[in-house]
Amino acid sequence: MELHAPKGTKDVTPKDSWRWQYIEGIIRDICRKYCIYEARTPVIEHTELFARGVGDTTDIVQKEMYTFLDKGERSVTLKPEGTAGIVRMFVENRLYNEAQPTKMYYLNAPIFRYERPQAGRLREHHQFGIEIFGAPLASADAECISLALEILSRLGVKELELHINSIGCKHCRPLYNEKLVEFLTQHEHELCETCRDRMHKNPLRTLDCKEEKCREICASAPIVLESLCDECSHHLDELKSCLDAVGIPYVLDPHIVRGLDYYTKTVFEIISNDLSAQNTVCGGGRYDGLVEQLGGPKTPAVGFGMGLERLLLLLQNQGAHMGEPASIDIYIAPIGDTARMKAFELAAFLRKQGLIVDIDHVGRSIKAQFKFAGKLNIRYVGILGDSELEMGALKLKNMTSGQEEIVKFDNLFNYIKE
Ligand code: ATP
Ligand code: MG
């Protein structure tokens, strides 16, 4: 039987993982500067968390979740997004009792969605995201955006567009929804089947439809910004002022509504034209009602999620420089069995001293060892034959300059470190 990874999943082989680690390193470094600390939550949660948290009229909950009964007949679901689990953790661990805000990030969280796999769209993907709890001010929204953009810019991503919008709150959104439903009803027969169905349950979602026809119709739909209450308008103005203050350009885009139910006020997406149809690298917003909805005290919150596979694809499409795989200080190439044992001992000795050391485990000829070493990012090859053994030294070949030198075992560390 031929074995395949499940459709829509991707391996990261040991040859490729350095690209991921490069991105992860930059993300961790920048989060540290913003005083945001890492949180980890389980890959599975009780299904109810997502039904209640993400919203049972969303595509994610209706069509895309990996849900199954475990052996104890409990319905569990593989995380289809990052926020609900984090909110559950915030509430369960009573983090709201601490001085607020509570800022956290998750990195490399596996996210599962049963979608049609295509470029930039997988069934298992990984996200980096941040969540800030207990911060009602728009500066927190701006901090999320500025952190996401700083990461993307440090990675060398070019030509991104930040789109922001406000979708109001529980006071002003119902009024807007009414206007929207009225408009959609006039065009009902032209909408796609999904939109005809959701226009009554969740009208905002139609603005997010990817069908060409629906997009055309929605282009002339009433705009949510015109229905915002004073508080939501003020919040949006504050956000714009914060972004202006640090020189972050944005497009005010009334069609950004996001695919999840929990958003209030700010929503945003960071979009690249160097990705195909799947052009959103990062999406997020404010969700002031979710903590309370999941059983915690009333707590404002804001955050985003960034798809790491999509980010890697973007970096590749733009030909961004991602550094190199880590170099190896020395590759020890023994000739003969006596030398082989000594080489093994020497490798252990040098690793203890802190060097990055590799050694032949295949029994290759010296020529083949050099050929092998030539393919790796190796600084020195150390040849260990009978004469070197007698001298208690290696013949070191500098793989960049080609220069050779005899170096005593005890001096190897210092020689290589210089
Ligand atoms: P899209 O509109 O592309 O479906 P979304 O609104 O469903 O995105 P979010 O739920 O906000 O996406 O997830 C945050 C980020 O995760 C997205 O901006 C994207 O980079 C990434 N992402 C979402 N779904 C997938 C997927 N199926 N495969 C790969 N990356 C994904
Ligand atoms: Mg989606």
**Which pLDDT score is estimated for 277?**
76
Ligand 1 centre distance from Cα of residue 125 (Å)? 9
pLDDT tens, position by position, 250-291 = 999 998 988 777 899 999 999 998 877 788 999 999 999 999
Which residues of the chain form CATH 3.30.930.10?
14-172+228-317
Distance of CA 366 from the midpoint of ligand 1 (Å): 50
Long-range contacts from 85-89, C-beta under 8 angstroms, 24+ separation: 85/41, 85/42, 85/45, 85/49, 86/39, 86/41, 86/129, 86/131, 86/303, 87/53, 87/131, 87/290, 87/291, 87/294, 87/296, 87/301, 88/41, 88/45, 88/49, 88/53, 88/294, 89/39, 89/41
Q: Output the pLDDT for position 205.
A: 86
pLDDT of residue 155: 96
Using the atom order of ligand 1, give the atom closest to the CA of residue 81: 10
In this prediction, residue 209 carries a pLDDT of: 87
208 alpha carbon, closest ligand: 1
At the topology level, CATH places domain 328-417 in Rossmann fold (3.40.50)
The pLDDT value recorded for residue 340 is 94
Q: Is 278 in the pocket of ligand 1 (CB under 6 A)?
A: yes
* pLDDT per position as a tens digit, 100-115: 999 999 999 999 999 9
Given a contact cutoff of 8 angstroms between Cβ atoms, the answer to whether 169 and 264 are in contact is: yes
What per-residue confidence (pLDDT) applies to 276? 75
- The predicted pLDDT at position 2 comes to 87
Whose CA is closest to atom 8 on ligand 1?
Answer: 280
Look at residue 208 in the predicted model and tell me its pLDDT.
84
Region(s) of the chain under CATH 3.40.50.800? 328-417
Pocket test for ligand 1, best of 278, 281, 286, 308 (most atoms within 8 A of CB): 278
Q: Is 51 in the pocket of ligand 1 (CB under 6 A)?
A: no
Nearest ligand to the CA of 313 is 1
From CA 314, how far away is CA 325, in angstroms rounded? 19
Mention the CATH class of domain 14-172+228-317: alpha beta
CA of 59 from ligand 1 middle (Å) equals 12
Q: Please, what are the averages of pLDDT over each run of 10 residues along the chain (418 residues)?
A: 93 94 97 98 97 86 94 97 97 97 98 94 98 98 98 95 95 93 93 89 87 91 94 98 98 87 93 84 96 96 97 93 88 94 96 96 93 92 96 96 96 93
Determine if the pTM surpasses 0.85.
yes
Residue 281, ligand 1, Cβ within 6 A: yes
Please work out whether the CB of residue 233 comes within 6 Å of at least one atom of ligand 1: no
User: What's the confidence (pLDDT) of residue 116?
Assistant: 95
